Amino acid sequence: TDALDFREKAPLNAKEDMYWDKEGNPITDLSLYGQLAAGVPGTVDGMVKAHEKYGKLSWKELLQPAIDLAEKGFPITKQQASELTNKHEDFEKYNKVANALISRSTWSQGDLLIQKDLANTLKLVQQKGRNGFYSGKTADLIVNEMKRGNGIITKKDLKNYHSVWRKPVSGAYKDYNVISMPPPSSGGIALVSLFQSIEKYPLKKWGFQSDSTIQVMVEAERRVYADRAEHLGDPDFFKVPQKQLLDKTYNVNRMNNFSFDRATPSSAVKAGEIIGKESMETTHYVIVDKDGNAASVTTTLNGSYGSLVVVGGAGFLLNNEMDDFSVKPGTPNMYGLVGGKANAIQPQKRMLSSMTPSILEKDGKLFMVVGTPGGSTIITSVFQTILNVVDFGMTMQEAVAASRFHHQWLPDQVDYEPKAISENVRETLRKKGYNLKERNAYGRVDGILVNPNGTYQGGADPRGDDKIEGY
């Protein structure tokens, strides 16, 4: 197993106070929209590195289908049509050069989205590999785009960007070996910590979304996200106490002050003491090939359509990943997540992520491949999907479709989808001091599960346009 970190980086000219006003207060939306919200892109280098190490087809062959889709267009889905229509005004605000996304103001299902600039960019990447993006014409276009706003990405930033192979995080849950993403994502450490925190409780006996099951999961989530805020950041810049955070006794002990009688208020939960501490539009897809090799990939611009800026003439959107840094200690980001020193902005640092592309093994053999978009809710959605299969006996499709709930320490509330948690159970939990809040459906979990006879079953989240394909 291997983990490829192709996370964006803060530009060389980034500063800790780059999103603050003169009084030191964060300026609304500055880390979210426009050229200054973009981190140095990592996707292209990531795909090149993945291909170098594991690719079987030629790079040229691999790029061709994407070029054809961009050049000839593809019919958009109903969801895509409504997103593009709703975002039209925002796109106009942040883009001075014409591009495919602003080519019309209203879109309908089945309209062809033709992206000529993007096709040309992809052709350069097809011909020149990473140099087709990080230098030459595409790099010029990115730097020119920066000048149209107050962006700071330079040629040097692009040239310096390299993705990194890292060692995956892994840990046991029951008979399963959970393998997931290491820092700079918080996903893998948080997921394994959640499993360690809940393993001793008989969730299976209590049942899916029963009051006790929800209490135990929420209390574990509250504690794990408190640790996320304090102890997790880019390991190249901040010493992440990974060993302790993945220590089973540590996580089991974190649950010691939980009582079934009452919710623990988040104000009473702090990040765990680290012993010897030094004085911190997402897509997911899962694939299993005919030889049983598995890939679980999460890739993201962060918010929908990222910074909303399309690089003029190059046809692709810039991310707004800079908002994943803790812009100021204690100030929530777009997902309500807080953080401190571990995830403060520093030049060349990677912003903390929640991405949790995961693979489970049972008896050393592939069991499940799973992941999702959803910002801060990614970790808890992956956590629930695995429990749905392992403890609640669901099929892969049932597990991804099942309604979900979420707690992330701060704000101190349990978010739940409209159909999650029965009325009765909600009442019981409210009496115990849980603050419950209904929210719209979130996440698009996709998974592949290996059947006992070695065949596969897929799960595609009905919340999105997700699809299963097989041979």
- Strands 176-180, 358-362: pairing is antiparallel
Among 42, 182, 373, 458, binds ligand DON (CB under 6 A): 373
213/299 with CB nearer ligand DON = 299
Sheet containing strand 446-450, strands side by side: 169-173, 176-180, 358-362, 365-371, 446-450, 456-460
Beta carbon of residue 207, minimum distance to ligand DON (angstroms, whole number):
29
Give me the catalytic one of 282, 356, 377, 380: 282
Any contact of residue 220 with ligand DON (CB under 6 A)?
no
Beta carbon of residue 123, minimum distance to ligand DON (angstroms, whole number):
28
Beta carbon of residue 428, minimum distance to ligand DON (angstroms, whole number):
31
Beta carbon of residue 353, minimum distance to ligand DON (angstroms, whole number):
3
What CA–CA distance (Å, rounded) separates 448 from 28? 40
Beta carbon of residue 386, minimum distance to ligand DON (angstroms, whole number):
18
Q: Output the CA torsion 207→210→211→212 (10° steps).
A: 10
Within 10 angstroms of residue 235's Cβ, the number of other Cβ atoms is: 17
Q: b/e for 5-27, b at 16 or more Cβ within 10 A?
A: bbbbbbbeebebebbbeeeeebe
Any contact of residue 326 with ligand DON (CB under 6 A)?
no
What CA–CA distance (Å, rounded) separates 131 from 142? 13
Q: Which residue type, as a one-letter code, is found at position 240?
A: V
Within 10 angstroms of residue 283's Cβ, the number of other Cβ atoms is: 15
Residue 369: which H helix or E strand, with range?
Answer: strand 365-371
Any contact of residue 324 with ligand DON (CB under 6 A)?
yes
Beta carbon of residue 377, minimum distance to ligand DON (angstroms, whole number):
8
Closest alpha carbon to 279 in 186, 342, 236, 190 = 342
Among 353, 380, 384, 388, binds ligand DON (CB under 6 A): 353
299: annotated active-site residue: no
Determine contact, residues 153/8, Cβ cutoff 8 Å: no
Within 10 angstroms of residue 246's Cβ, the number of other Cβ atoms is: 17
121/356 with CB nearer ligand DON = 356
DSSP structural state of residue 309: P
315/373 with CB nearer ligand DON = 373
Beta carbon of residue 443, minimum distance to ligand DON (angstroms, whole number):
8
Token reading at 416: 């739940």
Residues 6+ apart with CB under 8 A from 410: 225, 226, 229, 266, 332, 336, 338
Among 132, 306, 374, 458, binds ligand DON (CB under 6 A): 374
Total binding residues for ligand DON by CB under 6 A? Answer: 12
Any contact of residue 343 with ligand DON (CB under 6 A)?
no
Token reading at 96: 């001075």
Any contact of residue 354 with ligand DON (CB under 6 A)?
yes
279/440 with CB nearer ligand DON = 440
Any contact of residue 282 with ligand DON (CB under 6 A)?
yes
Interactions with ligand DON, residue window 40-79 (CB under 6 A)? none
Among 355, 368, 414, 429, binds ligand DON (CB under 6 A): 355
Determine contact, residues 461/446, Cβ cutoff 8 Å: yes
Among 213, 244, 302, 388, binds ligand DON (CB under 6 A): 302
Within 10 angstroms of residue 462's Cβ, the number of other Cβ atoms is: 12
Q: Which stretch binds ligand DON (CB under 6 A): 234-242, 263-271, 372-380, 383-391?
A: 372-380
Q: b/e for 366-383, b at 16 or more Cβ within 10 A?
A: bbbbbbbbbbbbbbbbbb
Among 375, 447, 458, 464, binds ligand DON (CB under 6 A): 375
Any contact of residue 121 with ligand DON (CB under 6 A)?
no
Beta carbon of residue 276, minimum distance to ligand DON (angstroms, whole number):
28
269/382 with CB nearer ligand DON = 382
Interactions with ligand DON, residue window 376-415 (CB under 6 A)? 378
Any contact of residue 300 with ligand DON (CB under 6 A)?
yes
6/195 with CB nearer ligand DON = 6
Backbone φ, ψ for residue 218 (5° rounding): -65, -40
302/343 with CB nearer ligand DON = 302
342/366 with CB nearer ligand DON = 342
Determine contact, residues 176/449, Cβ cutoff 8 Å: no
Token reading at 413: 């509330």
The set of catalytic residues is: 282
Residues lying near ligand DON in the complex (CB under 6 A) are found at 282, 300, 302, 321, 324, 353-355, 373-375, 378
